[in-house]
Amino acid sequence: MSQQGDRPATTDDWWGRLYDESARDTGPAGTPDDTIDDRFDSAADTLGGGDDLPSTRTYGHAVDAIAVDDDEDDAGDDEDEGVGPASRPPAWWESPGGRPVTRTPAPAPESAPAPAPEPSVPTPAPVAPAPLTPRPRAPWEPPPAAFDPTDPAADPTPPPAPPPAAPRDPRAADPRPPAPAPLLPPPAPAPAARISHVGDSPPTYEPEPTALPAADAEELDQLVADTVLDGARYGTYTLRAASLRGDSARYRGEPRRDALLTARFGAGPGALVLVAVATGARATEGAHLSAADACRWIGGAVGRSHSRLAEDIRAGRRGDLKSGLHRLTDRTYGKLRARAAELGRDPEEYTASLRCLLLSADPDCRTRVFFGVGGGGLFRLRDGAWQDLEPLVPEPSAIRGAPVVGYGSVPTGAGAATEQTPDGDRLTMDLEITKAPGPLVEEPVPPPPEPFRFRASVVRPGDTLLLTSVGLAEPLRGVPALGDELAARWADGEPPGLATYLADVALRAKGYADDRTAVGVWEA
């Protein structure tokens, strides 16, 4: 039975030759060197004419079956020299590592003898190879150009890939436009360096304490600190108060002659804040004690009458306030004179100048009351300029009282008693009795005490009141640079902190070395 159908096979049939026992085996090789070329040669030998069949060359993983003429005489007639399989570089579809692509073998040359099959036995049609399936092109690869082997300028080699971009130096300029910078607030100006003194040269004394006052073991309660600092906030104002020993007292080891008292009486909107500043007499023993007594006694008098005083301030009763505070101040100085008598000293030695501020805690009340006796200063900083609010008082020599009716004097005038009737009759008999002499005054009458000072004013938002002792009032009036510097520091209207305020008050000027006490009130 024939495997090709029902036709009888002939003895010289190619099929018979294929399975002839004398033919060598075309099966798989028993050696590991079994390649596609070996199998192709085995099939060619079996069919005959194997020497004239096209040879195969393997390039990488792709099998190329392009015919190559081995005749040495025709080697020089090839116009496409250098593009053969053995000499040309692999094409883009033959890149190493790609999938094998099988190309259709070229037809055999005409001179090659082909086997002559029997006419009665048809030659089976060769099986067409699978169509070429190109590798999918990556998005970054250019499309393949048509290759014409006859074109001497054709170059099947794909253009070289561009070299990889070198890493960008981060220090190099970026060609891209810079991104817009975020909107940031302008930087705050650097704060100006604070100075410690004004004038062309620093003061003579050192700026820090050097010597402590002498102490008595039995009278330690009479010692006073070098510096006192206090503050508060009520209603619409902020209070800052500081008192510090002068440069000369620090150098000599003398106590601070200035005294400072800050006290609040009552609670709520009806509360009343008192700030008292006193300075003892210069070059007297116990001057710091008389200043402390003055502050303590005026504080007690105000505290006992704080309800009435707070009501008068909120109601704006200036007349009542002036007369009432004048009486309280007189009582304080009466106690100082009594204290001087107890100590066996003259009243002029045991005395002090006294200046006070009364501040209501009611947010709706902006009336500030000043009163006192003696030297010092009252200033107001408004719109960056200082104003001197010290109440004007007449000179002591201009104060003259009315004539006093002395003992033995005869009254005259409309109010005087008459000695006879309208008809001329005398009411009494003149007995010519000698009148007793008047009192003998051997010493001149002492000058009157310093006048009482009073001022009640309504402040505006942004104002700054400054109540000072003599030690700061004199340089403020005598050294304009000191006032300008403080005005520059406080021009923004914000109250400074306690430490900053102390540094501001301690701003020194040459020639002024007394104690300094200052009370600042910042209006919101």
pLDDT tens sequence across 201-215: 778 788 888 899 999
For 15, the 3-state DSSP assignment is helix
Q: What angle do CA 116, 119, 125 make, to 5 degrees?
A: 75
Q: How far apart are CA 347 and CA 339, in angstroms?
A: 8
Residue labelled with tokens 């991104």: 179
pLDDT bucket at 326, cuts 50 / 70 / 90: very high
Main-chain phi, psi angles of 458, to 5 degrees:
-100, 125
**For residues 318, 319, 321 and 326, what is the CA-based torsion angle, rounded to 10 degrees?**
130
Q: How far apart are CA 109 and CA 106, in angstroms?
A: 9
Q: What's the pLDDT at 400? A: 53
Q: What's the pLDDT at 69? A: 42
Q: What's the pLDDT at 515? A: 94
Residue labelled with tokens 């050192």: 206
Q: What's the pLDDT at 441? A: 45
Q: Which residues contact 22 (CB under 8 A, 6 or more apart)?
A: none
Helical axes 318-342 vs 287-304, angle rounded to 10°: 140
Q: How far apart are CA 244 and CA 263, in angstroms?
A: 19
Query: What is the pLDDT averaged over residues 172-193?
Result: 67
- pTM value is 0.57
Q: How far apart are CA 511 and CA 515, in angstroms?
A: 13
Q: How far apart are CA 7 and CA 119, in angstroms?
A: 13
Q: What's the pLDDT at 83? A: 42
Check pLDDT > 70 for residue 190. Answer: no
Which of 106-120, 275-289, 496-510 has the least mean pLDDT?
A: 106-120
Check pLDDT > 80 for residue 359. Answer: yes
For 260-278, give the DSSP string: EEEEEESSGGG-EEEEEEE
Q: Are 112 and 51 in contact (CB under 8 A)?
A: no
Check pLDDT > 60 for residue 57. Answer: no
In order of their start, the domains of the chain are 202-214+224-390+452-523 (3.60.40.10)
Tell me the pLDDT tens digit for each residue of 271-308. Answer: 999 999 999 998 888 899 999 999 999 999 999 999 99
Please report, for residues 107, 255, 417, the alpha-carbon distance to residue 244 in angstroms, rounded to integers and kept in the order given.
121, 10, 62
Q: What's the pLDDT at 64? A: 43
pLDDT bucket at 429, cuts 50 / 70 / 90: very low
Distance of CA 31 to the CA centre of its chain: 87
For 161, the 3-state DSSP assignment is coil
Q: How far apart are CA 121 and CA 523, in angstroms?
A: 128
Q: Dihedral sign for Cα 7, 12, 17, 20, please.
A: positive
Query: What is the pLDDT averaged over residues 253-272?
Result: 95
Among 368, 391, 357, 372, smallest CA distance to 261 is for 357
487: exposed, middle or buried (Cβ count in 10 Å: 0-12, 13-18, 19+): middle
Partners of 277 in the β-ladder? 260, 355
For 339, the 3-state DSSP assignment is helix
pLDDT bucket at 94, cuts 50 / 70 / 90: low
pLDDT bucket at 74, cuts 50 / 70 / 90: very low
Which of 47-51, 261-265, 329-333, 377-381 has the least mean pLDDT?
A: 47-51
Q: What's the pLDDT at 415? A: 42
Check pLDDT > 70 for residue 447. Answer: no
Among 285, 237, 288, 185, smallest CA distance to 458 is for 237
What tokens does 23 get?
Answer: 């033919």
